[in-house]
Amino acid sequence: MASNYSVLVTSVLVPLAVGVAWALYRYRFRPSGTHWSRNVKTQALCRYVLFESTHGKPDSVLQAFKEYASKDRAMKGLLFTVEQDFFLVEAAKQCFPRTTLVLGTQCGYSVIRLLPFLPPEGMLYAVEQEESMAESAEEMILVAGFQNNQFKLLCQHPLDAIHALKSQFGVFEVDFLVMDYQCDQHVEGLKTLAEVGILHPGTLILTNNTDHLTSKDFMKYIEGAEGYRVVDNCKGLLKVEYVQSE
């Protein structure tokens, strides 16, 4: 009887206790509320991708994202729709960017979608200010088969990251910009990019969620600013060209 109890402790109770301790440690310092819930859901999404995708195959990883999102509505907001996806790819093909900047990486979907369109000497800078989201995104990008010399993930507030691009990474021009974070911060983001001087005539900008009420100020700014030209839109994804310094 004592022997059976020893086996139970060793094979079941100890691993269970270790697992609980790890979960408590991992989530102890997570923010409460919406952010914590989204982080947990994103990690579940990434676990699904790890087990269900073919590693080293971007299309397989993207398909796994979509499969999981089809079962969890909360995750659909992290991915582009079919129409938006096509719109994103066409924009990337149009400008064939040497330097791409993604502000709001989230689970890494848009980065994985865009990296194949970089030229051999190109670089993609991805920004995500939530640490757990940034970690998950980087893992997904690597699982898709991309290398660290093709992208750099910055876990910073978008405005801090914009300043770091020039001062720390020597980025003097951005050819393609994707803004997929809080809409009410897009105006400040664009102004900072222009002030830093890394936008140039011809820089193509895609901003997401421009059909939301929170984007009202951004749309007013874009429509009234002489330095930007609205090109096209698709289901809240707006294509804008930077035409001159303000």
Q: What is the DSSP string of 155-180?
A: -S-HHHHHHHHHHHH----EEEEEE-
Share of the chain above pLDDT 70, in %: 84
pLDDT of residue 124: 98
Tens digit of each residue's pLDDT (9 = 90 or more) over 85-137? 999 999 999 888 999 999 999 999 999 999 999 999 999 999 999 999 999 99
Give every CB contact of residue 114 below 8 A, 6+ residues apart in sequence.
88, 92, 100, 102, 124, 176, 178
Instruction: Work out the angle between the directed axes of helices 186-196 and 216-224 (0-180°, nearest 10).
Output: 40
Task: Calculate the CA dihedral of residues 136, 103, 60, 80 and round it to 10 degrees.
Answer: 120
Level-2 CATH architecture, domain 78-242: 3-Layer(aba) Sandwich (3.40)
The more confident residue out of 111 and 183 is: 111
